[in-house]
Structure 1
Amino acid sequence: MATQTLKNVILQLRTGSATQWAASTRILAVGEPGVETDSGRIKIGDGTNLWSALPWSGAAIGKSSTNGALTINGADVVVYVLPTATSDTLGGIKSASGTGKVTVDSATGTASVGNVASADKLATARTISLSGDVTGSGSFNGSANLAITTALAGQAFTAGTYTKVTVNTKGIVTGVAQLSASDVPGGISAGKISGLGTAATKNTGTASGNIPVLGSDGKLDTAVLPALAITDTFTATSKADMLKLTAQTGDVCVISSGGDKGSYILTKDDPTVAANWQLLTPPADAVASVNGKTGVVTLTTANISEGTNLYWTQARFDAAFAAKSSTALKDGAAIVKTTDTVVINCGNA
């Protein structure tokens, strides 16, 4: 007989409110715990008595709304009493170290607070002012942060983007303007101007290294770009119809029926000459038929014999599965059977 250990198990005890337990006729089995949800207290069954006749197990301790007390088994129990602080008795004041903290003298019990004199200086609001190149002021009494709106001394200008800016020795803008033609010195070579690109230094023309220019017809000179022929594709029902086409060298014609069926390409300029049309011969197919079928072939198990490898069927699977025992399954060792001993392991917190 195997022993199985189950992990990640949640144990839920039998529960009920005080009212529900009082009305219940259930008798807890020997050692069976029950929980009163109102108080969180527990009773252990003896297999004989009702809930009301069973004693409480241990003490249920909880927080109390009464200062200095705990709730034990539903009743408030005073745990400590905080005395009133006097000059001789340390009571409801706790000493703490650090600037601005309340300090209690260990001999006299006198409480004191540091930096009171410094704090008194903020009782009267003070004005903080800025002058010089930046002006602004505000009143500060320590009750809140102070934000001062400032103004920059100097000339006012219209908001915008300027290419010329004049500043004084302090970095304050004293003048703004846009560049004019007189601001750009003459005789600047292209090599000293950034951003022009390589085309700015090239001549126009059709020679090597020149930049070509469109002609009056909007086209490039044929010396730069030769005329291009566009290949068209035509269809015809016979070779006779194909010879009537207005086609150019490189055009293709597809004859869709008859003995001349196929695709032809015009190899010379005259489309009326049959010899100028070359038949495009496709490569021979490597597969002539599949399982005796030609064309679009779709095969099913009815077309191919099973041989030594049998096809899957639901009936075959059901029969094979029914013949297996649970221990022969992949996870058969993890299956819990009625002959096993089950250990419930709730794991750690």
Structure 2
Amino acid sequence: MKTRFSLAAVAVVGAAFLSMSLPVAAAPGDDAADKYFSKQNPKLTPQELRALELAKRWSAAGGTVTAPGGLVNAPQGVNLPVAGAGGVVRFPFGTVQPSIVCAVLQVCDVALQPGEQVNGIQLGDAARWSVEPAISGAGPTETLHLIIKPLDVGLETSLAVHTNRRSYHMRLRSHRTEYMPLVAFTYPEDQQAKWDMAKLREQKVEQARQDNTIPQTGEYLGNLNFEYSVDGSVAWKPTRVYNDGKKTIIEMPNAMSQTEAPTLLVVRKDGGLFSDAETVMVNYRVQNNRYIVDSVFDKAILVAGVGSSQDRVTITRSK
């Protein structure tokens, strides 16, 4: 009789060990699970119910993200998790202590931020909970995962994870059937950093535009053609000539304000050995020390004076 009792006891223990080792779904009608695990499920909070509903919707939809309508509402002031891509339940880091519900014979996968390195882990109930590391990705996208598994139903404990960036403090609860397969976090400081980076890029672009803009006119240098040569030895020789594809701007030195403004003539046809160049008048106006010509010319001359005292400057567009 003693021998038979001893063998029966071994058989029971072996069955228990086997049932916990095999990847069996934690279904309510599983007799083995009902026999060896507690039936006292914990009372779930609105945060936990919301996260579980998100996980259920993703599983029921065959791996597609569904709309959040009809999910559990939280009391005022409670931060609820949100659905992420691929069925991930996301908790906002730093605004709420995440409560992660796991089921016996199932796996909860908690992903940390890509590139984050763990310095230490403290688990309140290391005897009845298992937390193991796993890694996905490589290089800058390498992500550390915490694989969490409870060994019984109705367990509650805390988990502290310290990384090179922050410290996580999580609440772990075990349930008979309910669990969150995939868990991750959103990081408000990262979102703010992205906004700051976008703002900095805008400031750099604006600064570059200002550095490449003519202050007096607001014209962007990248839209202008400065390929002009200016020939002549006079006090009022132009300092800069450019066009924007529609107008030609001739900038004159300040010395021009002390003399009569020279006349602008556009060369239609160059002269020969025994003939002068053919010139025409074009529409232009003088604003301060700038000639604004309502066309883009290949060659023009500025003429001041008459007869032998006449001075001239030739302006030629290179391309």
Q: Which has the higher helix share?
A: 2
Structure with higher Rg: it is: 1
Determine which structure has greater relative contact order: mean sequence separation of CA pairs < 8 Å that are 6+ residues apart, divided by chain length.
2
Please report the TM-score for the alignment, with normalisation by the length of structure 2: 0.18
Q: Which has the higher strand share?
A: 2
Please report the TM-score for the alignment, with normalisation by the length of structure 1: 0.17
